[in-house]
């Protein structure tokens, strides 16, 4: 038993959902209680998908337990097949169904469903989400892909991108562009956008690009064994890694390592004098192993930062990250306990964090700027604009994203010149960030813990002096105002005062407050 | 006196209820922890469950409350599943560690989940044992928030019901308000009733464990939320008596709710009028503004928060909407009957869910507004249906007069937004 508050990874069946949701024509029947349907909102809200994930949940209840949960599973399976007519299905159990041991795979086999049904065994009490993605994709590939004749021209498969991935949507485009510049065609991209039918043709490609090893390594090894397809080991995030990737692919494909660098701006942006202030910035890197590996290298070699701590939460890649840390003269932090991460960051006193949404919040509490480099994701990690991490454009995007939370070079200079100026004083934070001024670090490296809520609360309350000097708030009304959530309190105060002024009221009572509220209601 | 409420001849109470059994798309009772832990300031909610339970809490809470919250999940691992004795030892150890780190905790709720129930981990026994171990500083209670026993808001019901047996006994004639509402709303209710001379008023749950209300034969109680049927039953067992009423949503609902209590306490009509006249007028005015958008529009409720029936009453009677289907995870007529009485027969009333079949009905009906969970909202929007997510209704202050306009506005906003955006989309 382990006490957990916030987790980096969900359960393994959520990993399976990420694969199913990324694909088309595949349906997942999940033996699970009703509450597990919460997972749908990850896709429809965080990723803004306009379709429900292709998942049918059995939603068995307590009273079904002694009775026929297996029957409920079979009915759900049949209904799902009839309604959605998928090309293939995957079936499995969530943590609760695992305990009642109905064996969804075995049940589905007996039902005569006329499409391939792939059974998933995802041990919920041992493994986590990334195991679920990798294992599910492997099972689908193992079930559907067969050795085939190669395409006459050189092609490859792009494997690993998923639903709810950190910038997967845009990374695919960058990788395609890199391949296209070398004259290499794309056979199948999977799981993202692929149908089960597409999976059956994986064997035609000459080799595989493993975009995100945590989601596709087992499948790549399987294809290497069964279909004789080699796969790439370099993940093209960062300028150096992208060059290496081009070289690696050229070798696998037997072509010239041609690439078009005209879109790449990052090296000059980094070399130009304005970036001098980036030199030696102490950064702490934490996230999934793939992105941490890439970020550490970019931080040191392409930004001129000093990496003062690094680690990952997915233990499957602990060894890689330990090796990497050694190369940086550090000890890797391998943990999925965010409190440990927070402690390590506080101890390392970095000037910046490259992390996940979790570290962004840790950064807010510690007053350290943070740029997000990896999953777990948040609605902000799905921008409307094109925003890859991979390839040449990815390098540009990363440069912009990482310096955004930092005080601009010129501004930092001014900070020293005008130390006591009210606009530039140390605690004002970067002037281009209206809403998220970091809390100043105490000199000794300690910190003032502050919740995200308390920050905006202050900012909302501060600039309200205007108008209040002519208006008197009676104590009760003032108290009532405090009960209004901080994020609308400023507005409520202004509206009430405007209303009071228009009515010729100079003393604001609780009554006035609510009269005003009714007045502005719509 | 006040205009009496017109009760339709044919109401929803007697309408046939459509019951379908298929996939339900609704949270489990663990979700209630998200608002309960904020209300009870010295309580900690320890879910004994799986990684899924932890992930549900995290996903439902979003990251808005990232500060170390007063809830957590003791995640069962392979080893805990092997032998029962182990699981209890492990739980004791985790609780001891937690309480040592958080000396501010006075009440600890052990919250059961599907996995803990399937392996029959006896949390009631654990709670007794831990109460003795950590007495007198901390009281340990238990309830189930599992998805095999509870839906969404039922978690609050189970939590409050678990507190009733340990409330102190009292013979005092007191009014108890039951339900965890935001302070600002709770205070309004207390003030209105106090101004009428009703009292003493106690609230369950109190913000701190030391202030929990007493209960006994002279206690009368009014529910603030329509999902508290188990809590009501537990209070009845302690001799308390419920004051049945429509729920305090909108001007009419609030007035009816207040009047039921006023009658119980013998408040005269004049006093009632004096206290309620001004806020009623304000509520009507504020609702009228939103009703301009809502009037004549059709609405379809998927089952989710259990607020569906009282809200349908408010939206049809005060905002001029037309309900096509009103569904709730379960319908307890002893609790929502007074609201059902006020809704004229006509809309489909459904209990439980087969989500695929219900989606077919919604698509065929093409309502102007669909109230549903977060999993369905964007997909329905993409099909051109406007939606209101039900979860907002339990996180936002929506009860009583001063919030009546806000409540109506919550439903009007998606429609107004669609009206604003449409021309641009068409112009593309
Ligand atoms: S439905 Fe059950 S297993 Fe799923 S989150 Fe809720 S309590 Fe946990
Ligand atoms: S604190 Fe800001 S960034 Fe974090 S969840 Fe809330 S709104 Fe989003």
Which of B65, B67, B283 should one mutate to test binding to chain A, selecting the residue with the greatest count of A CBs within 10 A? B67
The catalytic site residues of A sit at 274
Q: What residues in B contact A68, CB-CB < 8 Å?
A: none
* Residues B303 and B407 occupy one common structural domain: yes
Calculate how far, in angstroms, residue A361's C-alpha sits from the geometric centre of ligand 2: 9
Q: Is the pLDDT confidence value at B4 over 90?
A: no
Order of all β-strands in the sheet with A352-355: A333-334, A306-312, A282-287, A352-355, A370-372
Q: Which of B25, B52, B72, B159 to mutate to test the pocket of ligand 1 (most atoms within 8 A of CB)?
A: B52
pLDDT tens digits along A184-207 = 999 999 999 999 999 999 999 999
* Of the residues B243, B264, B285, the one at which a domain ends: B264
Ligand nearest the Cα of residue B52 is 1
Give the three-class secondary structure for B237.
helix
Look at B75 and A42 and tell me if their CB atoms are within 8 Å: no
Look at A100 and B118 and tell me if their CB atoms are within 8 Å: yes
> Domain with B46 in it: what CATH number?
3.40.50.1980
Q: Is the pLDDT confidence value at A432 over 70?
A: no
Look at A35 and B66 and tell me if their CB atoms are within 8 Å: no
Q: How far is B87 from chain A (nearest CA, A)?
A: 7
Ligand 1 close to Cβ of residue B147 (< 6 A) = yes
Q: Which of A6, A52, A95 sits opposite B52 (nearest CB)?
A: A95
* Residues B292 and B413 occupy one common structural domain: yes
Number of the ligand 1 atom closest to the C-alpha atom of B49: 8
CATH architecture designation of domain A464-520: Orthogonal Bundle (1.10)
Nearby residues of A325 by Cβ (< 8 Å), 6 or more positions away: A310, A311, A331, A332
Look at A125 and B22 and tell me if their CB atoms are within 8 Å: no
Pick the CATH number of A266-428 from 3.30.565.10, 2.70.98.50, 3.40.50.1980, 2.60.40.3470: 3.40.50.1980
Rounded to the nearest 5 degrees, what angle is found at the Cα of B327, between the Cα atoms of B314 and A521?
A: 30
Which of A51, A82, A96 should one mutate to test binding to chain B, selecting the residue with the greatest count of B CBs within 10 A? A96
Nearest residue by C-alpha to atom 8 in ligand 2: B64
Has residue B122 been placed in a domain?
A: yes
Nearby residues of B190 by Cβ (< 8 Å), 6 or more positions away: B177, B201, B203
Mean pLDDT, residues B320-331 = 96
Has residue B294 been placed in a domain?
A: yes
pLDDT tens digits along A262-311 = 999 999 999 999 888 889 999 999 999 999 999 999 999 999 999 999 99
Q: What pLDDT was estimated at residue B283?
A: 97
* Number of alpha carbons in the 13 Å side-chain half-sphere of residue A209: 33
* Of the residues B201, B235, B264, the one at which a domain ends: B264
Has residue B282 been placed in a domain?
A: yes
* Residues B297 and B325 occupy one common structural domain: yes
Q: By C-alpha distance, which of A261, A196, A190, A273 is closest to A22?
A: A190
Q: What percent of chain A has pLDDT over 70?
A: 87
Q: What pLDDT was estimated at residue B84?
A: 61
Neighbours of B376 (CB within 10 A): 27
pLDDT band for position A450 (cuts 50, 70, 90)? very low
Q: Which of B25, B74, B285 sits opposite A37 (nearest CB)?
A: B25
Q: Is the pLDDT confidence value at A451 over 90?
A: no
Which of B52, B117, B281, B329 should one mutate to test binding to chain A, selecting the residue with the greatest count of A CBs within 10 A? B52
Give the three-class secondary structure for B413.
helix
Calculate how far, in angstroms, residue B373's C-alpha sits from the geometric centre of ligand 2: 21
Q: Is the pLDDT confidence value at A413 over 90?
A: no
pLDDT tens digits along A351-362 = 999 999 889 988
Ligand 2 close to Cβ of residue B64 (< 6 A) = yes
Beta partners for B48?
Answer: B74, B112
Tell me how many domains chain B contains: 3
Q: What pLDDT was estimated at residue B415?
A: 95
Q: What pLDDT was estimated at residue B395?
A: 82
Ligand 1 close to Cβ of residue A59 (< 6 A) = no
* Residues B145 and B219 occupy one common structural domain: no
Mean pLDDT of chain A: 88
CATH architecture designation of domain A12-127: 3-Layer(aba) Sandwich (3.40)
Distance of CA A167 to the CA centre of its chain: 8
Q: Is the pLDDT confidence value at B244 over 50?
A: yes
Size of interface A-B (CB pairs under 8 A): 225
Q: Is the pLDDT confidence value at A224 over 80?
A: yes
Number of the ligand 1 atom closest to the C-alpha atom of B56: 5
Q: Is the pLDDT confidence value at B391 over 90?
A: no
pLDDT tens digits along A126-171 = 999 999 999 999 999 999 999 999 999 999 999 999 999 999 999 9
Q: By C-alpha distance, which of B190, B209, B217, B210 is closest to B201?
A: B190
Q: Is the pLDDT confidence value at A446 over 70?
A: no
Mean pLDDT, residues B191-199 = 96
Q: Is the pLDDT confidence value at A419 over 80?
A: no
* Residues B98 and B179 occupy one common structural domain: no
Ligand 1 close to Cβ of residue B149 (< 6 A) = no
* Residues B133 and B201 occupy one common structural domain: no
Q: What pLDDT was estimated at residue B390?
A: 81
Instruction: Using a CB–CB cutoff of 8 Å, tell me whether A318 touches chain B.
Output: no
Q: Which of A5, A125, A480 sits opposite B76 (nearest CB)?
A: A125
| Minimal-distance CA residue of chain A relative to B381 | A50
Entry pTM: 0.87
pLDDT higher for A164 or B81?
A164
* Residues B411 and B358 occupy one common structural domain: yes
Q: What pLDDT was estimated at residue A435?
A: 43
| Minimal-distance CA residue of chain A relative to B148 | A61
pLDDT band for position A461 (cuts 50, 70, 90)? very low
Domain encompassing residue B247: 174-264
**Sequence ranges of the domains in chain A:** 12-127, 145-256, 266-428, 464-520
Q: What residues in A contact B90, CB-CB < 8 Å?
A: 1
Has residue B157 been placed in a domain?
A: no
Has residue B322 been placed in a domain?
A: yes
Mean pLDDT, residues A97-125 = 94
* Residues B287 and B340 occupy one common structural domain: yes
Mean pLDDT of chain B: 92
Q: A145-256 and A464-520 share one CATH topology?
A: no
Question: Under CATH, which number does the domain A145-256 receive?
Answer: 3.40.50.1980
Instruction: Using a CB–CB cutoff of 8 Å, tell me whether A416 touches chain B.
Output: no
Has residue B98 been placed in a domain?
A: yes
Has residue B4 been placed in a domain?
A: no
Has residue B271 been placed in a domain?
A: no
pLDDT band for position A391 (cuts 50, 70, 90)? very high
Give the three-class secondary structure for B399.
coil
pLDDT band for position B66 (cuts 50, 70, 90)? low
Which of the residue ranges A232-236, A442-446, B9-13 would you say has the lowest mean pLDDT?
A: A442-446
Which of the residue ranges A139-153, A230-244, A330-344, A487-501 would you say has the lowest mean pLDDT?
A: A487-501
* Residues B296 and B255 occupy one common structural domain: no
* Residues B113 and B180 occupy one common structural domain: no
Q: What pLDDT was estimated at residue B10?
A: 86
Nearby residues of A505 by Cβ (< 8 Å), 6 or more positions away: A499, A512
| Torsion angle in degrees (nearest 10) through CA of B203, B204, B209, B214 | 80
Ligand 1 close to Cβ of residue B111 (< 6 A) = no
Token reading at A125: 């009490």
Q: Is the pLDDT confidence value at A440 over 60?
A: no
Instruction: Using a CB–CB cutoff of 8 Å, tell me whether A509 touches chain B.
Output: no
| Minimal-distance CA residue of chain B relative to A101 | B118
Order of all β-strands in the sheet with B17-21: B17-21, B348-353, B322-328, B298-301, B369-372, B387-389
Ligand 1 close to Cβ of residue B30 (< 6 A) = yes
Look at A45 and B91 and tell me if their CB atoms are within 8 Å: no
A31 phi and psi angles, rounded to 5 deg: -80, 110
pLDDT tens digits along B293-313 = 999 999 999 999 999 999 999
Instruction: Using a CB–CB cutoff of 8 Å, tell me whether A146 touches chain B.
Output: no
Q: What pLDDT was estimated at residue A205?
A: 98
Distance of CA A409 to the CA centre of its chain: 29
Q: What percent of chain B has pLDDT over 90?
A: 81
* Of the residues B232, B264, B296, the one at which a domain ends: B264
pLDDT band for position A469 (cuts 50, 70, 90)? low
pLDDT higher for B108 or A427?
B108
Q: By C-alpha distance, which of A446, A278, A156, A76 is closest to B355?
A: A76
Ligand nearest the Cα of residue A454 is 2
pLDDT higher for A198 or A480?
A198
pLDDT higher for B193 or A410?
B193
Q: What pLDDT was estimated at residue A457?
A: 35
pLDDT band for position A487 (cuts 50, 70, 90)? low
pLDDT tens digits along B10-39 = 889 989 999 998 999 999 999 999 999 989
Ligand 2 close to Cβ of residue B63 (< 6 A) = yes
* Residues B181 and B105 occupy one common structural domain: no
Q: What pLDDT was estimated at residue A424?
A: 41
pLDDT band for position B115 (cuts 50, 70, 90)? very high
């Amino acid at each position: 038993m382990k006490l957990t508050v916030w987790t980096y990874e969900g359960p393994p069946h959520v990993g399976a959902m990420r694969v199913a949701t990324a694909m088309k024509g595949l349906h997942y029947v999940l033996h699970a209680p009703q509450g597990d349907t919460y997972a749908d909102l990850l896709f429809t809200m965080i990723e803004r998908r306009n379709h429900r994930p292709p998942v049918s949940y059995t939603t068995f209840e307590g009273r079904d337990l002694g009775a026929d949960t297996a029957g409920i599973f079979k009915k759900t399976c049949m209904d799902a097949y009839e309604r959605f007519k998928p090309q293939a299905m995957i079936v499995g159990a969530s943590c609760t169904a695992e305990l009642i041991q109905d064996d969804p795979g075995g049940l589905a086999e007996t039902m005569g469903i006329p499409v391939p049904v792939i059974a998933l065994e995802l041990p919920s009490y041992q493994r986590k989400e990334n195991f679920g993605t990798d294992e599910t994709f492997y099972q689908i590939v193992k079930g559907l892909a067969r050795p085939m004749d190669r395409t006459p021209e050189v092609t490859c498969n792009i494997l690993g991108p998923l639903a709810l991935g950190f910038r997967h949507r845009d990374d695919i485009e960058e990788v395609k562009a890199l391949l296209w510049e070398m004259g290499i065609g794309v056979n199948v991209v999977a799981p993202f956008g692929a149908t089960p039918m597409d999976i059956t043709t994986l064997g035609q490609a000459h080799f595989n690009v493993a975009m995100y090893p945590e989601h596709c390594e087992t499948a790549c090894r399987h294809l290497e064994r069964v279909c004789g397809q080699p796969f790439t080991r370099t993940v093209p995030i960062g300028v150096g890694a992208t060059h290496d990737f081009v070289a690696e692919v050229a070798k696998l494909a037997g072509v010239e390592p041609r690439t078009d660098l005209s879109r790449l701006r990052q090296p000059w942006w980094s070399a130009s004098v304005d970036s001098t202030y980036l030199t030696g910035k102490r950064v702490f890197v934490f996230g999934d192993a793939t992105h941490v590996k890439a970020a550490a290298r970019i931080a040191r070699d392409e930004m001129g930062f000093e990496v003062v701590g690094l680690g990952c939460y997915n233990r499957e890649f602990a060894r890689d990250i330990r090796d990497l840390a050694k190369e940086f003269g550090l000890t890797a932090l391998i943990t999925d306990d965010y409190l440990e991460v927070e402690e390590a960051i506080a101890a390392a006193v970095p000037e910046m964090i490259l992390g996940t949404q979790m570290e962004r919040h840790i950064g807010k509490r510690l007053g350290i700027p943070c740029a997000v480099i990896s999953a777990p994701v948040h609605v902000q990690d799905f921008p409307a604009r094109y925003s890859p991490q991979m390839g040449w454009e990815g390098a540009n995007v990363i440069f912009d994203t990482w310096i955004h939370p930092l005080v601009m070079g010129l501004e930092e200079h001014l900070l020293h010149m005008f130390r006591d100026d009210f606009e530039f004083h140390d605690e004002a934070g970067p002037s281009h960030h209206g809403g998220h001024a970091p809390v100043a670090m105490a000199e000794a490296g300690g910190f003032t813990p502050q919740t995200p809520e308390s920050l905006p609360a202050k900012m909302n309350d501060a600039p309200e002096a205007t108008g209040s000097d002519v208006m008197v708030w009676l104590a009760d009304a003032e108290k009532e105002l405090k009960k209004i959530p901080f994020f609308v309190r400023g507005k409520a105060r202004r509206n009430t005062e405007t209303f009071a002024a228009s009515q010729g009221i100079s003393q604001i009572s609780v009554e006035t407050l609510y009269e005003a509220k009714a007045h502005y209601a719509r | 006196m006040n205009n009496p409420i017109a009760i339709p001849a044919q109401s929803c109470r007697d309408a046939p209820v459509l019951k379908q059994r298929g996939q339900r798309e609704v949270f489990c009772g663990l979700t209630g922890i998200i608002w309960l832990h904020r209300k009870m300031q010295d309580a900690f909610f320890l879910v004994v469950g799986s990684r899924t339970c932890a992930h549900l809490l995290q996903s439902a809470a979003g990251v808005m409350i990232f500060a170390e919250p007063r809830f957590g999940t003791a995640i069962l691992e392979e080893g805990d599943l092997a032998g029962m004795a182990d699981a209890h030892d492990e739980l004791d150890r985790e609780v001891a560690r937690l309480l040592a780190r958080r000396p501010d905790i006075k009440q600890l709720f052990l919250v059961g989940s599907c996995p803990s129930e399937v392996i029959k981990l006896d949390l009631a026994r654990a709670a007794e044992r831990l109460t003795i171990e950590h007495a007198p500083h901390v009281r340990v209670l238990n309830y189930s928030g599992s998805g095999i026993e509870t839906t969404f808001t039922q978690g609050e019901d189970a939590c409050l019901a678990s507190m009733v047996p340990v409330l102190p006994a009292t013979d005092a004639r007191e009014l108890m308000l039951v339900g965890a509402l935001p302070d600002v709303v709770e205070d309004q209710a207390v003030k209105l009733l106090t101004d009428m001379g009703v009292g003493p008023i106690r609230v369950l749950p109190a913000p701190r464990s030391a202030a929990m209300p007493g209960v006994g034969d002279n206690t009368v109680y009014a529910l603030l939320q329509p999902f508290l049927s188990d809590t009501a039953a537990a209070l009845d067992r302690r001799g308390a008596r419920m004051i049945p009423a429509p729920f305090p949503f909108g001007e009419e609902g609030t007035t009816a709710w207040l009047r039921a209590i006023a009658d119980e306490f013998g408040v005269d009509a004049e006093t009632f009028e004096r206290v309620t006249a001004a806020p009623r007028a304000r509520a009507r005015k504020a609702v009228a503004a939103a009703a301009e958008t809502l009037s004549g529009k059709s609405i379809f409720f998927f089952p989710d928060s259990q607020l569906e029936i009282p809200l349908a009453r408010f939206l049809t009677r005060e905002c001029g909407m037309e309900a096509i289907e009103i569904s709730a995870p379960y319908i307890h007529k002893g609790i929502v009957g007074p609201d059902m009485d006020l809704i004229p027969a006509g809309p489909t009333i459904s209990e439980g869910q087969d989500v695929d079949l219900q989606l077919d009905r919604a698509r065929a009906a093409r309502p102007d507004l669909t109230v549903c969970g977060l999993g369905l909202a964007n997909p329905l929007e993409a099909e051109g249906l406007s939606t209101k997510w039900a979860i907002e209704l339990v996180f936002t202050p929506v009860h009583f007069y001063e919030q009546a306009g806000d409540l109506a506005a919550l439903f009007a906003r998606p429609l107004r937004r669609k009206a604003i955006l449409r021309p641009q989309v068409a112009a593309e």
